[in-house]
Amino acid sequence: MASALEELQKDLEEVKSLLEKSTRKRVRDALTTEKSKRETEIKNKMHQKSPKKPQVDNEKPAAEAAPIATGYTVKSSNYGWDQSDKLVKIYITYTGVHQVPTENVQVHFTDRAFDLLVKNLNGKSDSVIVNNLLRPISVEGSSRKVKTDTVLILCKKKAENVRWDYLTQVEKECKEKEKPSYDTGADPSEGLMNVLKKIYEGGDDDMKCTINKAWVESREKQAKGDPEF
């Protein structure tokens, strides 16, 4: 019997197959959202199986005082994020940030937000403010690291082992209005079937033909024991 991880990988391959054949923007957006969700679920399951890494020594404590900008400051919203059982990790790219003095990289945490300020980097300062985090964090347990060309924000979850589907409450509300409904407690394959059904029902004749063709081809490969499936 296939494991949950294997089922997710099969679903991902099928979504990719449909995405390659899709030409309509609305359908491609829905499939792209589903693809990202599957990739995140696979990554999290693989992370759960891998041994936890020991905490490194270069972790720096959070700044106690809120950052005060000097000169002119640019606000940025370009970042990525990931999570573990205990931490939510936000990765922010700044070319050359590892070369500025440590005190120039300041972060201020609250129960549901953080404010990062990088001062005097390449002739300017840059800030990233993220409000309305999805869940509360521990201010005392949160910190930041400075790596090569990257600032890593580590927000310690108050509720450990609780998965965040989104980084902020606003993102959750926006995404759940846009994407097809998905039951996180249901079987992964059943969830994919519901998504494809909604796309099929809302598509035109060409899209329905494309989905039917891709579905038949994938089932034929699966029946023949194709390693891809």
* Same domain, yes or no: 83 and 120: yes
pLDDT at 66: 42
CA-angle at 144, arms to 155 and 94, nearest 5°: 115
Tens-level pLDDT at each residue, the chain (229 residues): 457 778 878 888 887 888 787 777 777 777 777 877 777 777 777 776 665 555 544 554 544 444 444 445 556 667 889 999 999 999 999 989 999 999 999 999 999 999 999 999 888 889 999 999 999 999 999 999 999 999 999 999 999 999 999 999 988 888 877 665 545 555 666 666 777 777 777 667 777 777 777 777 777 776 676 555 4
Question: Of 187, 196, 185, which Cα lies nearest the Cα of 219?
Answer: 196
Sheet holding 105-110, edge to edge: 73-75, 124-130, 113-121, 105-110
- Domain CATH number, residue 133: 2.60.40.790
Q: Indicate whether 21 belongs to any domain.
A: yes
Question: Among all chains, which residue has been given the structure tokens 């400051």?
Answer: 73
What backbone torsions phi and psi does residue 141 show, to the nearest 5 degrees?
-90, -5
pLDDT at 64: 44
Q: Indicate whether 133 belongs to any domain.
A: yes
Q: How many domains does the chain have?
A: 2
Q: Indicate whether 84 belongs to any domain.
A: yes
pLDDT at 188: 60
pLDDT at 157: 96
* Same domain, yes or no: 80 and 107: yes
Residues 6+ apart with CB under 8 A from 203: 24, 27, 211
pLDDT at 116: 94
* Same domain, yes or no: 71 and 43: no
Q: Indicate whether 171 belongs to any domain.
A: no
* Same domain, yes or no: 140 and 208: no
* Same domain, yes or no: 209 and 134: no
Q: Indicate whether 169 belongs to any domain.
A: no
| Domain extent at residue 68 | 60-157
Q: Indicate whether 164 belongs to any domain.
A: no
pLDDT at 184: 54
* Same domain, yes or no: 36 and 64: no
Q: What is the dihedral of CA 178, 179, 185, 188, to 10 degrees?
A: -170
pLDDT at 65: 41
pLDDT at 45: 74
Q: Indicate whether 135 belongs to any domain.
A: yes
Is residue 87 within 8 Å of 76, Cβ to Cβ? no
Neighbours of 24 (CB within 10 A): 16
pLDDT at 40: 78
* Same domain, yes or no: 149 and 93: yes
pLDDT at 50: 61
For 202-221, the pLDDT digits (tens) are 667 777 777 777 777 777 77
pLDDT at 88: 95
* Same domain, yes or no: 40 and 64: no
